[in-house]
Structure 1
Amino acid sequence: MSITPLAALSVHRAAPVFRGRIGRDARSGHYAVPHRYRLHLSTACPDGLRLAVGHGLLGLDADCPVTLLPAVPDCPGGGHSALRPLYEASAHHYTGPALGPVLSDDWSGRIVSTHAPDILRDLDRFPRTGRVSLYPRGLESVIEAVERMCAEGITQAAQRAGAAGADPAERAAALDVLLDTLGRLENRLAGEEYLADDRLTAADIELWVTLVELDTVHRCHLDASAVHRIAGHRALWAYARRMTAHPAFRSALDLDGISRRHQGRCRGLEAAGAAVQILDWASLSAAAEDACRR
């Protein structure tokens, strides 16, 4: 089965998006068989962090190994040198950036997918004992709704609210969207351990990663008043603490890598909110690690 990039190289030297899918049997070309596929990701990247947590929850270390990429790309102009052979084998005369995350096929030496949401759904198809499911039947619409809320109502809204040089009215409106979204998620989590059907699903991965980014990256560009209002959602941040205590979440959290990636990419202005940390993620991780040892 050949893989065709959906977005070919442009004058902007953008990386093509590969969206091959892993099916449930040999007829799909790429089917869910152990020891054939490999994940290449950086846990400093939100997409990579999502995949790392999902991979850990599914227990796929032996069946689909992970190759970790550095937090800061090591190629001029972006991209990872370790991924270049895969891109060159998968896209004819490829000269653009070799970006992660990537799901590759060890049998062919080519890329299956660079589309993180597809990859996580396909990992959920791998045969395994225990049958933890990140996308249980009947909960697809709930998970998709959470994904939209996190992308549009938190991440994009936080970026607009902290945009340097933006119109103050636009920043205020974006902050209102952010706070409204956090409030709706707060209400959903009141008295609940998880977001959907009292079980851990991909929705929880999505929200936890989004909250990590909100506190470690986007907060740095917000004023102190905004951060205090964000921190006031007690159920939401208590939920973030609980998720961080889970081994699959805790082991994937690379705070130093997230900081280095942010410093290497961000050209925005630091605001007073940078000094108002909502959660002490490092202490949470250390405390959970100590509890596991006892």
Structure 2
Amino acid sequence: MSDETEFIAAKNASTDGEFVRDATYINDRVVKGLEPGSDPVGEKIGEMRWPVEAGRYRLMAARACPWASRSIIVRRLMGLEDAISMGLAGPTHDINSWVFDLDPDGRDPVTGLHRLQEAYFNRIPDYPRGITVPALVDLPTNAVVTNAYQKLNFDMLSEWTDFHRDGAPDLYPEAHRDEIDELDSWIYPTVNNGVYRCGFAAEQGAYEKAYDELWASLDRLEERLATRRYLVGETITAADIRLFTTLVRFDAVYHGHFKANRSKITEMPALWGYLRDLFQTPGFGDTCDFPQIKEHYYNVHRDVNPTGIVPKGPDLAGLLTPHHREELGGSPFGSGTAPGPIAEPSERVPAGHRAE
């Protein structure tokens, strides 16, 4: 959903001013074992199973959104570009929907959609909840299959294996799944969602509670990453992707816009080195568009920033400076390989939109 919609829902749902994220999604899955071209199996939306089928689905995303950025990174690291195409919405929108205003005539070139909302209505007329990215759209019907980002990402890792590139990494290794899930159990509410709980708090007490929990967790992560290159094991995992999309937005957006301002990530040595390490890894920094990220938060969140003025800073060139994290051991992809250059011109972040 748009963050404006989330904020309105939060004010209605909470009696103490705390931001409450609407986490109700269309939980359909795309799985192996079903005949390509077949209809989904199941009778209830949210519990249906769709067949893995190259070319059938389009990932609708927005570089501005951290949840969508996770899916963009997973798709690129696993080499699923030829199997699952991608449409990119622009960074600003109204309360109704993300809009494909980056494309000619304001329409996604594959689906012809102007608003992502149309794909939701094609599946559920007058869909009553927020219009979120990422969303997977069924091209034959132009209807949303799922917007449950965590399950969507898991399916790209575990169900689309026949279409993974040679050398694709194991981002959710069996030996570390419990540890990855345990980390997510506190990083998600206090860090990923914690910055939103700070920014959208409607009462001082709710803000201070979220702020304290955020910094307790960031201090905990700073200590953890002082002695290890990645969050879990010796290679990049899903845990790193989940944390990266928050950290890379922190100094540019969350520090000021969301009042998460005890410190900047550049002032925390381990987290700053870790962020630079990931940013310089193919699949991470090359998917980040900072003007879009800043325009989204500062322009769309008029409850937080009434003027809509987008700050010129900060200088993000430091993301490209040496990090020396390789001295801690490990390697980004283990026995796998890095993804190659982005082949599709429309998926490349424009020059001047990166940390240059």
Q: TM-score range by the shorter chain?
A: 0.7 to 0.9
Q: 2:96 aligns with which of 64, 71, 77?
A: 77
SS in 2 for 1:248: coil
- Counterpart in the other structure of 2:70: 50
Asked if 1 retains the 8 angstrom alpha-carbon contact of 2:255 and 2:261, the reply is no
Q: 2:176 aligns with which of 139, 163, 180?
A: 139
Asked if 2 retains the 8 angstrom alpha-carbon contact of 1:255 and 1:282, the reply is no
Does 1:150 pair with 2:158?
A: no
Give the deviation of 1:133 after TM superposition.
2.2
Q: 1:239 aligns with which of 264, 274, 288?
A: 274
Question: Structure 2 CA distance, aligned partners of 1:161 and 1:69?
Answer: 26
| Segments ≥4 residues shifted beyond 6 Å | 222-225, 286-290
Change (3 A) 1:96 1:165: closer
User: Which structure carries more helix by proportion?
Assistant: 1
Question: Structure 1 CA distance, aligned partners of 2:121 and 2:257?
Answer: 37
Cα root mean square deviation, aligned: 3.5
SS in 2 for 1:139: helix
Give the deviation of 1:216 after TM superposition.
2.2
Query: For 1:31-51, what per-residue CA distance to the aligned partner results, in whole angstroms no more than 9, with x for missing partners?
Result: 323222210100101111111
Change (3 A) 1:151 1:283: same
* TM, length-normalised to structure 1: 0.78
Question: Structure 2 CA distance, aligned partners of 1:87 and 1:107?
Answer: 14
- Give unpaired runs (5+ residues) of structure 2: 1-8, 13-21, 36-40, 42-48, 100-113, 324-340, 342-350, 352-356
- Counterpart in the other structure of 1:281: 316
Q: 2:60 aligns with which of 40, 50, 72?
A: 40
Does 1:248 pair with 2:283?
A: yes
Query: For 1:215-264, what per-residue CA distance to the aligned partner results, in whole angstroms no more than 9, with x for missing partners?
Result: 22221146697125x65421111100111101211121010011111122
Q: Which amino acid aligns with 2:182?
A: A
Of 182-191 and 142-151, more deviation after overlay is shown by 142-151
Query: For 1:248-285, what per-residue CA distance to the aligned partner results, in whole angstroms no more than 9, with x for missing partners?
Result: 11121010011111122322269xxx99x7x8435535
Does 1:21 pair with 2:22?
A: no
SS in 2 for 1:177: helix
- Counterpart in the other structure of 2:213: 177
SS in 1 for 2:51: coil
SS in 2 for 1:26: coil
* TM, length-normalised to structure 2: 0.65
Does 1:262 pair with 2:282?
A: no
- Counterpart in the other structure of 1:116: 149
Give the deviation of 1:21 after TM superposition.
0.3
- Give unpaired runs (5+ residues) of structure 1: 1-9
Question: Structure 2 CA distance, aligned partners of 1:51 and 1:199?
Answer: 19
Give the deviation of 1:116 after TM superposition.
0.9
User: Matched residues, percent identical?
Assistant: 25
SS in 1 for 2:87: strand
Give the deviation of 1:86 after TM superposition.
2.0
